[in-house]
Amino acid sequence: MERNVRILGAPTDYGANRRGVDMGPSAIRYAGLAGELESAGVSPTDAGDFAVPHHATRDADAGAANAKHVQEVEEVTTSLADAVSTALAEGTTPLALGGDHSIAIGSMVGSARDADIGVIWFDAHGDFNTPSTSPSGNVHGMPLAAALGVGDFEGVEWANADGLKEENVAIVGLRSVDGAEAEEIRDTDVTVYTMSDIDERGITDVTNDALDVATDGTDGVHISLDLDWLDPREAPGVGTPVRGGVTYREAHAAMELVARSEAMRSFELVEVNPILDEHNETATLATELAASAFGKRIL
């Protein structure tokens, strides 16, 4: 049976500290997302973008202390959560386009609304800060902690993914983490595979182990793919690049394993910033990786 995919654009930069990432959904579409998905054998439908007021029209400090634009993040992610939940209820797979990584709060909340889910977080960063630990106050560094109800996010209904447990979360490719954030991660049952693990064991073994973590006793897996997971030489158009990331081929191999598992419940592409990109290279890469995650093969 052909898989139906619903594209949901969340053009927000509320959670980031560099402007331009709000144009990510448009750049990814322009790079040929629909065609790549069709080449993977799925049927995409584009639901358009959510209406997101420009950040300059809002007060970044109007909400919680050291959580910039948190009220706006709540608005966007609540809308996205509803759209993700609706897509799943209607038998389609939601594909969210960021925008910065704060949108993942909505993706996870929506995906976990009526199911127990796992999460694989392909990212250079842990995104496990809270307002109390964050050096910057940027919410794109907080979505995993928010979804799991860690620290300041405990009991925050709009941000907590009720069907998600720490033991079903795997971070893959970590290579940049703040000091207090690292302590938060160590105090949880989240599984972390650093770039050193990938160097020593290879992307295939690490991704398969991450899938085992995320599928253990769950109804499906949310895949969160931050393009800064890749080395900046492969993906230059990101706001927080970190040298030493995965290669083009390693990234495709991981997404191919995701497809082969048939466990993916929801998917997101985040942190593509066309202002920082070179000839839309990162957006094009995002479309290709999405196609691999949805089953595109060489033969």
Q: How many percent of the chain have pLDDT more than 90? A: 86
CATH architecture of 3-294: 3-Layer(aba) Sandwich (3.40)
Q: pLDDT of 113-156, one tens digit each?
A: 999 999 999 999 999 999 999 989 888 999 999 999 999 999 99
Please confirm, yes or no, whether 46 is among the known catalytic residues. Answer: no
Q: Answer yes or no: 222 catalytic.
A: no
Q: Which of 127, 152, 184, 256 is catalytic?
A: 127
Out of 13, 72, 74, 140, pick the active-site residue.
140
Does 123 appear as a known binding residue?
A: yes
* pLDDT mean across residues, the chain: 94
What is the pLDDT at residue 2?
82
Catalytic residue among 36, 75, 100, 123: 123
127 is in an annotated binding site: yes
Residue 279 assigned as binding residue: no
The pLDDT-based confidence of 298 (bands split at 50, 70, 90) is confident
Confidence band of 57 (pLDDT split at 50, 70, 90): low
Is 101 marked as a binding-site residue?
yes
Query: Quick check: 46 and 74 in contact, CB under 8 A?
Result: no
216 in catalytic set: no
What pLDDT is attached to residue 67?
80
Q: Which amino acid is at 51?
A: A
| The pair of three-digit structure tokens given for residue 100, joined into one six-digit string | 């910065």
Q: Which of 13, 100, 152, 226 is catalytic?
A: 226
pLDDT in tens, 66-88: 788 888 899 999 999 999 999 99
Active-site hit among 13, 49, 271, 277: 271
Mean pLDDT, to the nearest integer, of 26-53?
Answer: 96
For residue 61, say whether it is annotated as part of any ligand binding site: no
Tell me, yes or no, if 140 is annotated catalytic. yes
For residue 189, indicate whether it is catalytic: no
Taking residues 154-171, report their average pLDDT: 97
271 is a catalytic site residue:
yes
Tell me whether residue 183 is one of the annotated catalytic residues.
Answer: no
Residue 69 is a catalytic residue: no
